[in-house]
Structure 1
Amino acid sequence: MAAPLDLDQLQTFIMIADTGSFTRAAEEVHRTQSAVSMQMRRLEERIGKALFEKDGRTNKLTEEGERLLSYARRMIHLNRETLAAFDDRRLEGTIRIGTPDDYADRFLPEIMARFSRSNPRVELTVICEPTFNLVEHIKRGHLDLALVTHDDAKGQSEVVRREPLLWVSSANHATHEQEILPLAFGRPTCIWRRAACDVLDEMNREYRILFTSWSATVITAAVLSGLAISVLPECALRPGMRVLGEADGFGTLPECKIGIMRGHTARADIVEAIARHISESLDNISVPAAEETGTFDFAAMAALRGRRLKPSHILPGW
């Protein structure tokens, strides 16, 4: 029977991957650099593969290292979850979190499941509103934590995930070919709406905003019915949508940055715990796709993302 992997080695491996440096990783795990190097040699011997390669002054993961990283994060998280399940001092109380409904639909099931397993005595109160509203709730002390769309101009959140922001239309309609482009967007405070209008203005493309709503369900319905096009982050794509790219006459949009905002709360321990779970959950959530259904324009997707989408990115139910 093969010996199990060493969790300390995996923790150090993750830290090296995150910092790109054996030296900084050694500081984080409170070991000497030589001890860290020895740990990695033993881990490579145990795996039987090279995990790192030099890239200038940094240490870059090999393809095998990238494969191991996903498993390592899950193993470390499961270890924490197991210890928390038997900890009589584990967290308890109530935490109020907020997120836009398009993020809630995609991310909350994974986040809530992971957090609740580790912290069964914590009650989660969740509200779904646009980022603009959530920022105000945080400022007024109505929320302990919010998952929001990060605004570079305001720098109000800690970025935990980046995704392409994409032009989307119905796969069954030629809505994007209309002379005056019909659009469905969030309210005027929506960052994506402003970005899309800026791109269209630069293109001198005529458009009119036909639907305005803070509900992702309404925006999605307008797109899928062929009444309008919109912009969505990759995580919000749905079967029946077509991604529009430069070949369709649409300029590149800025990337979508998803961030965490913390409120002023007496339960900072719970807030930090859920923030960590959110960050780890978003690291492990794959890119949604529907390659099997043929409903996305994958040539446009590949051009926008600079790589070929593979079947491994397909999620059950998409």
Structure 2
Amino acid sequence: MLDLVHLRSFVSISQLGSFTAASQKLGLGQSTVSQHLQRLEAAIGRRLLDRDTHGVQLTADGEALLPHARQLLSLERQTSSLFEAARPSGRLRLGISEDLVSGQLPVLLQDFIADYPAVELHLTVALSKDLADMQDKGELDLVFAKRRLGDRRGEVILREPLVWLAADPDAILANPVLPLIVFPPPSLTRTLLMEALERTGHPWRIVCSCQSLSGLTAAARAGMGVLVQPRNLAPPGLRELPPSALPTIEDVEFILVAAPSADRNTIAAFTRLVRDRVTNGLTPSR
């Protein structure tokens, strides 16, 4: 029989790519997490993970087990939720920052819907400032977006550095005028990168402006210019430019903002899931 505690450690290691990070997330010693994996591999009779100097990689058997392990853990959460004093239900109007679309959003939403089928989820994806405006107008119950350092709105989930990304960094740096791929105003990322360039007087020009992260990513992959994104949300196919190549951009904070009228039980349930799934593994799907 498979032990759910062992499966939880396996999924955390797989998600975070590190025994140390998994142990911190689970609140366990690293030796305990390692022991969980060893016992799981012994129960299955297969090697699930390979370790090297670059981190942890799933074996073919590990890849095969992972979706089933997640499904079993999701079923455990669903079963536990049946006995909550006040189960989340009703409508949740959720606003998500465009930056998060390339990350674990699909899995996050899938887990939430599976765990709380009585919740009717309405999703809006937009720029952080636009989401804040919608929430102020009473159109959104919960917003998962970003803010600049020093702002007070929302509950901080994590802090992320903004980095310069390109398909071919050498080609970008050889250009005397920096070609920019940016969101339109009122994008916070756009504001912060412009401030960084203005501080140093670095010449620039906008070659692509698009409301959609997928559109910006396509332009960057085509080699049109440089894109700025949170480091752990860097789209696949792009490389980070050396830190000394271009001005340092101010970090951002990802936050959850609940409307006063939102259902407390539903907000608490989604917040728990975000902290479990995102805080310790905010990475794009590869």
Residue pairs, 1:1-150, within 5 angstroms = 63-64=30-31, 80-85=77-82, 90-150=87-147
Return closer, same or farther for 1:66/1:199 CA change in 2, 3 Å cut-off: farther
Aligned to 1:35: none
- What one-letter code is carried by the residue in structure 2 that aligns with 1:82? T
Query: Counterparts of 1:146 and 1:264 in 2: how far apart (Å)?
Result: 12
- What one-letter code is carried by the residue in structure 2 that aligns with 1:154? D
**Residues 74 and 111 of structure 2 are in contact (CA less than 8 Å); yes or no, is this contact kept in structure 1?**
no
Query: Counterparts of 2:100 and 2:128 in 1: how far apart (Å)?
Result: 11
Are 2:221 and 1:188 equivalent residues in the alignment?
no
**Residues 144 and 265 of structure 1 are in contact (CA less than 8 Å); yes or no, is this contact kept in structure 2?**
yes
Query: Counterparts of 1:68 and 1:163 in 2: how far apart (Å)?
Result: 32
By how many angstroms is 1:67 displaced? 6.7
Aligned to 1:279: 275
Query: Counterparts of 1:125 and 1:170 in 2: how far apart (Å)?
Result: 35
Q: Deviations over 1:185-209 (max 9, x none)?
A: 1123222112212222233211112
- What one-letter code is carried by the residue in structure 2 that aligns with 1:240? G
Aligned to 2:13: none
TM-score (norm 1): 0.63
Residue pairs, 1:153-192, within 5 angstroms = 153-171=150-168, 174-192=171-189
By how many angstroms is 1:99 displaced? 0.8
Say which SS state the counterpart of residue 282 (structure 1) adopts.
helix
Query: Counterparts of 2:3 and 2:221 in 1: how far apart (Å)?
Result: 52
Q: Deviations over 1:203-237 (max 9, x none)?
A: 32111122222211121122111111121112332
Are 2:273 and 1:264 equivalent residues in the alignment?
no
Return closer, same or farther for 1:81/1:284 CA change in 2, 3 Å cut-off: farther
Say which SS state the counterpart of residue 125 (structure 1) adopts.
strand
Query: Counterparts of 1:138 and 1:150 in 2: how far apart (Å)?
Result: 15
**Residues 141 and 259 of structure 2 are in contact (CA less than 8 Å); yes or no, is this contact kept in structure 1?**
yes
Moved more, 227-236 or 79-88: 79-88
Aligned to 1:295: none
Return closer, same or farther for 1:128/1:180 CA change in 2, 3 Å cut-off: same
Return closer, same or farther for 1:231/1:66 CA change in 2, 3 Å cut-off: farther
Size of the aligned set, in residue pairs, is: 236
**Residues 184 and 211 of structure 2 are in contact (CA less than 8 Å); yes or no, is this contact kept in structure 1?**
yes
RMSD: 3.5
Query: Counterparts of 1:203 and 1:188 in 2: how far apart (Å)?
Result: 21
Structure 2's unaligned 5+ residue stretches are 6-22, 37-69
**Residues 235 and 287 of structure 1 are in contact (CA less than 8 Å); yes or no, is this contact kept in structure 2?**
yes
**Residues 183 and 190 of structure 2 are in contact (CA less than 8 Å); yes or no, is this contact kept in structure 1?**
yes
Structure 1's unaligned 5+ residue stretches are 6-50, 53-59, 289-314
Q: Identity over the aligned pairs, expressed in percent?
A: 24
Among candidates 235, 248, 251, match of residue 252 of structure 1:
248
Aligned to 1:19: none
- What one-letter code is carried by the residue in structure 2 that aligns with 1:151? R
Among candidates 229, 236, 240, match of residue 233 of structure 2:
236
Say which structure, 1 or 2, has more relative contact order (CA 8 Å, 6+ apart). 2
Q: Deviations over 1:158-201 (max 9, x none)?
A: 11122331100113871232111110111232221122122222
Query: Counterparts of 1:3 and 1:236 in 2: how far apart (Å)?
Result: 32
- What one-letter code is carried by the residue in structure 2 that aligns with 1:195? L
**Residues 165 and 240 of structure 2 are in contact (CA less than 8 Å); yes or no, is this contact kept in structure 1?**
yes
Query: Counterparts of 1:193 and 1:183 in 2: how far apart (Å)?
Result: 10
Return closer, same or farther for 1:87/1:259 CA change in 2, 3 Å cut-off: closer
Bigger radius of gyration = 1
Query: Counterparts of 2:198 and 2:111 in 1: how far apart (Å)?
Result: 43
Aligned to 2:64: none
Query: Counterparts of 2:150 and 2:275 in 1: how far apart (Å)?
Result: 22
TM-score (norm 2): 0.70
Say which SS state the counterpart of residue 152 (structure 2) adopts.
coil
